[in-house]
Structure 1
Amino acid sequence: MTDLLIVGAGILGLSHAYAAARRGLKVRVFERTATPLGASVRNFGQALVTGQPPGEMLDLAKASRGIWAHWSRQAGFELKSNGSLLFARTALEQELLEAFCAERAVEHGYKVELLSGAALNDLYGGQFRHHRAALRGLDDQQLYSREAIPTLVRFLQQELDVQFHFSTLVRDIEPGKVSTTAGEFSARQIVVCSGHDYQTLLAEPIAKLQPQVCRLQMLRARPRFNLNLQHALLTGLSCVHYGAFADLPQAQALKAQLLSDSPHLMKHGIHLLISPTPHGELIIGDSHAYGSDAAPFNAEQVDNWMIELAEHTLGGRIEVVERWQGVYGSGGRGPFSLLQVAPGISAALMHSGVGMSVGPALAERHIARLFNENA
């Protein structure tokens, strides 16, 4: 008999599959599409420790870091582990980063360093000297999701004997059994990792969380100049969004300044992220629009604002080669939910865009609890 049935082959589903299979449990995973196509492959691939708020999320991100490193070695996908760079473009952003390094980073063990002057100018041959400072997040990692996720699937199949059923819709669930388009299957435990699909399965208990969907505008681009980028990049704009910084007094002052000087960025939730791919390209974004559904219509002006921010941050022109919509689950009563819906039936849902950062360790915790281990 199968020990665990998982619905969804995104990062939460795959993390649960790994956590169970490495314990010697028999695992099956069901995914409605032929390959994962949701949030886990539409993102930046940034597994950020630095941006997580102190406490549970920071602990999960730190624990997930080692799991990603193990997966990279065992499955054979590229993982950049030389950290991130968060640029301060203004005096207020620099003041915020200085305050973070002097107090919170020390108190909570963030591995960071602040670069300015000659240290900043030495980065990439002086390419970023037009910024005031850079916070280097030494624990941050980055991967190319659309290649890494399928590679992880193959690793789970070939090395840990996880059984995958792609192009298979799970129609219904009851304790110990799922009904799918490929037939009925039984297991001791069932975990639903359905991403932002709140209607197909467990609709009533999920609705009590008042979840939303966040829609993002994303780009893939080539730099029109010589840039062999090896770090994930952010700017001070992210400091008003990420929990590591957002409650600092300097972040409140920065938010007020942005509302005054750049209200269009705040209105559309634009804060620049840039991730290099293994092919010399850059993933660039993003904007944030929240609602019960992800509208299919992109605004060209939003893309133009992001391109302008990217070109200023990079110090050179870019050529856009691809555009798409990112999407992830939002709302809820916290950054994630682990619901025990019925005996042997649970759901694992992210309500923020940090599933890549915390998902591996979150699944370890959840599997330990479901199979009565001392977590």
Structure 2
Amino acid sequence: MTILIVGAGILGLSHAYAAAKRGLKVHVFERTHTPLGASVRNFGQALVTGQPPGVMLDLARASRGIWGEWAQQAGFELKRNGAYLFARTEAEEHLLEAFCQGRAREHGYRAELLRGAELDALYGGQFNHHRAALHGLDDQQVYSREAIPALVQYLQRDLGVEFHFSTLVRDVKPGQVHTTAGSFKGAQVIVCSGHDYQTLLAEPLATLNPQVCRLQMLRVRPTIDLQLQHALLTGLSCVHYGAFADLPEAAAVQAEILRDSPYLDEHGIHLLISPTPYGELIVGDSHHYGSDPSPFNAEQVDNWMLQLCQDTLGCEVQVMERWQGVYGARGAKPFTWLPVAPGLSAALMQTGVGMSVGPAMAERNIARLLEEA
């Protein structure tokens, strides 16, 4: 059986892996010369701790193992020592306490709350100006700019996946794709075209009422040698991630944000920090939603994020690079498997956690196709 996949982002690559490891012949088509979309513009965080109980948590846990296999086989660095989420205020600390005492125990999240001497010991006391730190032990992080190309090379070299880069797919039909490199046939076509809702399958995708989320992001260098080896978040993320956002204690955190820093809510700002292998940090992010991403960044938004970053790190940073992240967002569900016709389907993420859940989501989709075949 031959599978034709449109898109070489994390969803396209995940579906290619799931199909190729089952012995299927796989072609992947990507319009750019290398993946340049959301999958390389992100933080590289594959978070388990932030996912809500249910299917998202299950997918994140299963994806964690797949990332481990990829890192070993493809040879890219995978930080498997977890992430730290810092409580800066009493309300944030109470929320993390409630999570650890309730939901974490009930659903088996591997997390521990550090305070006092344990917090003081973290990075030599660099973060002891916070009230507490939640250590999510299952959270992982990669440097996406290197990990995604390494994954492409592994799929080509070891699993025989054929990639067609710099190739625009003009049209898809059941079992067929028509491209600038010619037409191809296969038993199944899977469209994984990210936030592009207009080029392919525009009519069926429109029924999902999809939106696009634009994020402002930066790469910075700390003015001191932190030697940071963990991804970092703050209590601001608790009102964005489903593991925390619906807990009763989250209301006080949200109220605090609206009272003290309403601009953070207005621009969807919550701090994420990811170390690169080169002593730099990826910092963000903001969230602006609409049908089309604006090309214009607001310097004030960057300044707010930089201030949050410096407050969290306890040192100043120097900006090295700025860019936009863009991904599909705000569907009725966090992800969609859309069977358009026999032999033609689309896979979409409608939230920014494709790195966290995409690998296992693709496993389920490919298994479903083979059961139906």
> TM bucket by the smaller chain?
over 0.9
1:1-375 to structure 2, matched below 5 A, reads: 3-372=2-371
TM-score by length of 2: 0.99
Any unmatched runs of 5+ in structure 2?
none
Query: Partners of 1:119 and 1:177 in 2: how far apart?
Result: 58
The DSSP-based 3-state class of the residue aligned with 2:244 is coil
Query: Partners of 1:335 and 1:372 in 2: how far apart?
Result: 24
- The root-mean-square deviation of aligned C-alpha atoms, in Å, is 0.9
The DSSP-based 3-state class of the residue aligned with 1:372 is helix
CA positional deviation for 1:10: 0.1
User: AA paired with 1:111?
Assistant: R
Deviations 1:298-355 (A, max 9, x none): 0000000000000000000100000000011002111000000011100000000000
The DSSP-based 3-state class of the residue aligned with 2:371 is coil
Query: Partners of 1:332 and 1:33 in 2: how far apart?
Result: 26
Any unmatched runs of 5+ in structure 1?
none
Query: Partners of 2:184 and 2:225 in 1: how far apart?
Result: 53
Query: Partners of 1:231 and 1:246 in 2: how far apart?
Result: 23
Query: Partners of 1:138 and 1:115 in 2: how far apart?
Result: 12
User: AA paired with 2:252?
Assistant: A
The DSSP-based 3-state class of the residue aligned with 2:8 is coil
Deviations 1:2-61 (A, max 9, x none): 610000000000000000000000000000000001100000000000000000000000
User: AA paired with 2:102?
Assistant: E
Extract structure 1 runs of 4+ deviating beyond 3 A.
Answer: none
Query: Partners of 2:51 and 2:175 in 1: how far apart?
Result: 36
The DSSP-based 3-state class of the residue aligned with 1:9 is coil
CA positional deviation for 1:373: 7.4
CA positional deviation for 1:180: 0.3
TM-score by length of 1: 0.99
CA positional deviation for 1:173: 1.1
More displaced, 187-196 or 173-182?
173-182
Query: Partners of 1:272 and 1:266 in 2: how far apart?
Result: 12
Query: Partners of 1:309 and 1:176 in 2: how far apart?
Result: 49
User: AA paired with 1:370?
Assistant: L
The DSSP-based 3-state class of the residue aligned with 2:278 is coil
Deviations 1:89-141 (A, max 9, x none): 00010000000000000001100000000000000000000000000000000
Query: Partners of 1:17 and 1:192 in 2: how far apart?
Result: 12
Query: Partners of 1:118 and 1:331 in 2: how far apart?
Result: 41
The DSSP-based 3-state class of the residue aligned with 2:102 is helix
The DSSP-based 3-state class of the residue aligned with 2:245 is coil
